[in-house]
Amino acid sequence: MRVFVTGVSCVGKTTIGRRVAELLGVKFLDLDHEIETFFGTSIERLQNKFLTIHSYRKEGARALVHLLNRPDSRDCVIALPPSGLMGGYLEVLKKSSGITVALNDKPENILERITFYDIDSKPIEKKLTANEKRLHLKEIKKDITHFRKSYERADLQVDISGLDIEHAAGKVKEALEVIDKAAREQGKSEQVMQADGESLARFFAGDPVLRSKE
């Protein structure tokens, strides 16, 4: 099973995605890390080379194509960026197999997990003032609104509000098992329908074996 996990910044894509991978017994991969490895530079430095975020996503999608062509990506959980179901990334995903999952949480919870990085993707320790918290909370709400429509494209939307990592990962795993079971059953049903259709076609074509069963 290949699973793509997306959501706004700091919603828990990496942490929860990694735990989901452990529960499923598959590998975890982070697209941001893969992009930095593929291009040999940090996300921010790469973004600075492009005039628009759309152009950056199109370029970043090259790393996603490279990743999906690797054997170790056939059964895995891949953490996508917030824009994972938009632009160049979406075009690649449309041509790939896998289940897309969008994580949703309350802005206040996301604010508690907010992290900062320098231009080289190294974490920065920063204590926010009350005013800075208000500003960042406002930005988080804007991001949720901005990306909401794209997350509606996901196969699954999982609300992790109020859940710790273990319970959030468990909820995602349960949702994946339900959709995977449904897909398998649908596949079996389609195989039966296809077999029935082929049998009827042979019957009307005068298949002697079928006629002998009358």
* Model confidence pLDDT, tens digit, residues 56-110: 999 999 999 999 999 999 999 999 999 999 999 999 999 999 999 999 999 999 9
Confidence of residue 194 (pLDDT cuts 50, 70, 90): low
Look at residue 117 in the predicted model and tell me its pLDDT.
94
Q: Which of 143, 107, 165, 115 is nearest to 8 (CA)?
A: 143
Look at residue 188 in the predicted model and tell me its pLDDT.
60
Q: Which of 47, 64, 49 is nearest to 6 (CA)?
A: 64
Look at residue 145 in the predicted model and tell me its pLDDT.
97
Look at residue 160 in the predicted model and tell me its pLDDT.
97
Task: Give the model confidence (pLDDT) of 23-58 as tens digits.
Answer: 999 999 999 999 999 999 999 999 999 999 999 999
What is the spatial distance between Cα 111 and Cα 114, in angstroms, rounded to a whole number?
5
Q: Could you tell me what percent of the chain has a pLDDT over 70?
A: 87
Residue 200 has pLDDT above 50, yes or no: no
Residue 148 has pLDDT above 60, yes or no: yes
Look at residue 185 in the predicted model and tell me its pLDDT.
81
CB 172 within 8 A of CB 20: yes
What is the spatial distance between Cα 100 and Cα 154, in angstroms, rounded to a whole number?
5
Task: Give the model confidence (pLDDT) of 166-188 as tens digits.
Answer: 999 999 999 999 988 887 787 66
CB 165 within 8 A of CB 105: no
For residue 148 the two structure tokens come to 């909401």
Task: Give the model confidence (pLDDT) of 112-128 as tens digits.
Answer: 999 999 999 999 999 99
Residue 197 has pLDDT above 80, yes or no: no
Look at residue 180 in the predicted model and tell me its pLDDT.
84
What is the spatial distance between Cα 28 and Cα 6, in angstroms, rounded to a whole number?
13
Look at residue 190 in the predicted model and tell me its pLDDT.
59
